[in-house]
Amino acid sequence: MINVSNLNVSFGANQVLHNINFKVAAGECYGLVGESGSGKSTILKAIMGLNKHTGTIEIENTPLVNHKRDKAFYRKVQMVFQDPYGSIHPKHSIDRILSEPLYIQKFTDIEARVCKSLEEVGLNRSFRYRFPHQLSGGQRQRVAIARALITEPQILVMDEPTSALDVSVQSEILNLLDDLRKERNLTYILVSHNLAVIAHMCDKLAVMNRGVIIEEMTPDVLFTKSAKAPYSRELIQASHGYEAVEKAA
Ligand SMILES: Nc1ncnc2c1ncn2[C@@H]1O[C@H](COP(=O)(O)OP(=O)(O)OP(=O)(O)O)[C@@H](O)[C@H]1O
């Protein structure tokens, strides 16, 4: 479904991604973990065409050209950001926020789709007439997820989608994302610094350090502490998230 090969990104003389290679199968959740500054967000931004890059990014065996992304791309791939307050327009009603992508993609049954998408993320219809500042952080992230999914993309790319939320709300949103993936056979790429989140959500993960993928593994490697690379072992040892993983196991 997604095939990234020899991806390189530089900002001026500073090369921040070095030969990144990974594949994500349809219906899979692929995690990216690593310290702050390791290049996780830069990979997502390259996929979304938000920064210049070299190398190849293929979606369903079709290479994306340069860093430009067209309407057909956004029909297939959508992004959910860390901060729902920053990613949805603060002065637009929820109805307008959810309707806009439908108009852009030339859907006709807009009202029915808006109501259905609110229902799917656990918000009732009355939310249509509210504004972002009237919602809690968790409700705003539900709206951001509804907006990302309203045009029925196949792929969601997510950058720390729960880290701006209260701990009590984080698992609700993660469970919602997990359920939606299973219901719709969606493909996810999920960035998180929290190994417990990645272990809970992902089928496979890549450990990153300084713009390089150090090791790819399945979540059971986190549970069994059987990472191969010394850096991955250190990251797992150092992670509070890993303690949570151990407790949950
Ligand atoms: N627009 C930019 N201009 C210059 N340097 C940038 C830019 N965006 C990112 N970088 C640099 O690229 C490197 C990787 O950043 P990136 O945000 O991808 O890391 P990250 O792993 O997502 O970190 P975090 O977990 O803190 O979000 C960092 O050194 C960062 O300073």
Question: What are the C-alpha distances in Å from 238 to residues 50, 195, 232, 241?
Answer: 32, 10, 10, 9
Q: How confident is the model at residue 240 (pLDDT cuts 50, 70, 90)?
A: low
pLDDT at 245 over 80: no
d(CA 80, CA 110) in angstroms, rounded, equals 21
Q: Which CATH architecture has domain 2-248?
A: 3-Layer(aba) Sandwich (3.40)
pTM: 0.91
11 lines ligand 1 (CB under 6 A): yes
Instruction: Output the six-digit token pair for 76.
Output: 């297939």
Ligand 1, residues 16, 17, 208: which to mutate, most atoms within 8 A of Cβ? 16
Q: State the closest ligand 1 atom to the C-alpha of 42, by its place in the atom list counted from 1.
A: 18
Mean pLDDT of 37-41: 95
Q: Rounded to 10 degrees, what is the CA torsion of 174, 178, 181, 184?
A: -110
Q: How far is the CA of 41 from the centre of ligand 1 (A)?
A: 7
Tokens of 24: 């994500």
Question: Is the confidence at residue 248, as pLDDT, over 80?
Answer: no
Lowest-confidence region among 105-114, 204-213, 221-230: 221-230
Q: 39: Cβ below 6 Å to ligand 1?
A: yes
Q: 167, 244 in Cβ contact below 8 A?
A: no
Contacts of 20 (CB under 8 A, 6+ apart): 4, 6, 7, 8, 39, 43, 55, 211, 212, 213
pLDDT band at 86 (very low <50, low <70, confident <90, very high): confident
Ligand 1: which atom is nearest the Cα of residue 38?
Answer: 21
Determine whether the shortest distance from the Cβ of 34 to ligand 1 is under 6 A: yes
Q: Which of 42, 47, 163 to mutate to test the pocket of ligand 1 (most atoms within 8 A of CB)?
A: 42
In testing the pocket of ligand 1, which one of 9, 17, 38 has its CB within 8 Å of the most ligand atoms? Answer: 38
Q: What tens digit of pLDDT does each residue of 50-59 get?
A: 999 999 999 9
Contact yes or no for 19/61 (Cβ under 8 A): no
Q: How many residues does the chain have?
A: 249
